[in-house]
Amino acid sequence: MVFSSLLFLFLFLPIFLGIYFIIPSRFRNFILFIASLLFYAWGEPIYVGIMIFSTLLDYSCGRLIDHFRNHPILPKIGLGLSLIGNLGFLCYFKYADFFIHNINAAFSTDFGLLKLALPIGISFYTFQTMSYTIDLYRGKVGVQKNIITFGAYVTMFPQLVAGPIVTYDNVEKELNSRIITLDRFGVGSIRFIEGLGKKVLLANNIGLLWDKINVLPVGELTVLDAWLGMIAFGLQLYFDFSGYSDMAIGLGHMLGFTFPENFNYPYISRSVTEFWRRWHMTLGGWFREYVYIPLGGNRVKKARFYSNIFVVWFLTGFWHGAGWNFIIWGVFFGVLMVIERGFLLKFFEKCPRFLSHIYLLVIILISWVFFSHDYLSEGLIYLKAMFGQVGNGLLNTATCYLMSNFYVLLILGVLFATPIMNKLKSKLPQWIMYLFYVGTLILSTAYLVDSTFNPFLYFRF
């Protein structure tokens, strides 16, 4: 996929930023809107129409909700049209073949699969646009009467395709008026370089270890191979996704926007509950605000409270992908969250920190098995290899060879996944940090020039 190349971003950004800062501020939303459509069209020009339709739909529904605010029915119709339209597109493109496949399997029918390409970022921008109409209906935000400004929000390219999920209330004021300073641009540039380094230098290279292990037949894997594979995949996924989020947040600062944080060193957590307060925080926040709390949250009887957790985690798993592996992945975390809320969190408060941390890491690595394999059957076989039920013993010479080639990257990955490096850089002289960022930018650019394929893992969701 051509869109997956970061080289286009490097070519695109200087031109866009030059125009963006030169023109009068009243035209910046227009430039942002057009540039975002062009950026999206680079990868999937066919589906730009869907994004434009989504913009028109939610803008129109928002005006309907606002204009007939005191009418007993029409605001509900406006909200309903927005939800049906957005979820309808999402279900059609992302889940249609999943439902057709399961209907065929259950009833021995032979309906043809649609085999539709998933529009990049549809899982993210549909949630964003729905947040606008829902919050407008609730009276939490004001109506946006300028369709260009609203279009800039819907299509905003820095976080368009893989988050963080930016709800309308996050940027409502900045859409209408934002301050751009040289200091803020500098902060954004540093954050962008950090994200770029995470993606290009860490995620891509650690991912090579997972690639080597993933292509091996399961019967040839040792136990250590299987666990190394999940460690590599887990680190790759973290640096890939948090790197994209850092780049998006950095670009937001450069353009005058403050996007919400999406990661807070999740691998240092002591429980699944804590992990999901630190990983993909904007997705968790969206489900909490628009699903969990409307269901009653924790202000209900215990049985209903636990069922609310299951609903949220079933939907979270299904949001990530149209497959039973993602559903099992979501239910897996739902069960663990219920167990932790029931008694395990109280136990962790009394036990040594390292024990709860080991528990968390083992659980997360097991969960990535379902996340990393397209089919549930493949994931289950791989899981057996992790526990020695299939495979080639504990370790062998091939395992030692892999470890000798990748141990430096794994150590760097573990260090950068903790706050240790962040604390260290605050104590170093500023000139050393400038050299570090310049070096990171040069190395990342050289890597991109040498490699034409740099996909973000979360593009598939």
Say what the alpha-carbon torsion angle 223, 229, 232, 236 is, to the nearest 10 degrees. Answer: -150
DSSP 145: -
Residues 39 and 245: their CA atoms lie apart, in Å, by 17
Instruction: Count the helix, strand and coil residues of the chain and give each as a percent rounded to the nearest 5.
Output: 75, 0, 25
Which tens digit of pLDDT belongs to each residue from 162-174? 779 999 999 999 9
* Positions of the chain with pLDDT under 50: 1-4
Phi then psi for 128, rounded to 5 degrees?
A: -65, -45
Instruction: Look up the pTM and report it.
Output: 0.93
Rounded CA-CA distance 346/362 in Å is 19
Task: Residue 419: name the closest of 219, 249, 257, 269 by CA.
Answer: 269
Which tokens is 116 given?
Answer: 């539709």
- Tell me, what's the pLDDT at 3? 39
Note the pLDDT of residue 428: 86
Residue 349, classified by CB atoms within 10 Å of its CB into exposed (0-12), middle (13-18) or buried (19+), is exposed
Q: Where are the alpha helices (DSSP H) in 177-301?
A: 182-197, 204-214, 223-255, 272-278, 281-287
pLDDT value of position 350: 87
**Contact by Cβ (8 Å): 103, 109:** yes
Cite the beta strand spans of 77-137 per DSSP E: none
The dihedrals phi and psi of 301, each to the nearest 5 degrees, come to -65, 155
Catalytic residue among 71, 101, 253, 320: 320
- Residue 38 is predicted with a pLDDT of 84
State the Cα–Cα distance between residues 361 and 87, nearest whole angstrom. Answer: 34
CA distances from 128 to 83, 155, 175 (A): 11, 10, 14
What tens digit of pLDDT does each residue of 221-230 get? 999 999 999 9
Tokens 């990661």, located at residue: 263
Q: What is the DSSP letter of 237?
A: H
101 is catalytic: no
pLDDT on residue 162: 73
| Tokens 């190394």 found at | 228
Tokens 């910046």, residue located? 28
Contact 142, 168 (CB under 8 A): no
Q: Which residues contact residue 311 at a Cβ distance below 8 angstroms, ignoring those fewer than 6 apart?
A: 291, 295
Residue 419 pLDDT: 92
Alpha carbon 344 to its chain's center? 28
The predicted structure's pLDDT at residue 454 = 60
> What pLDDT was estimated at residue 449?
73
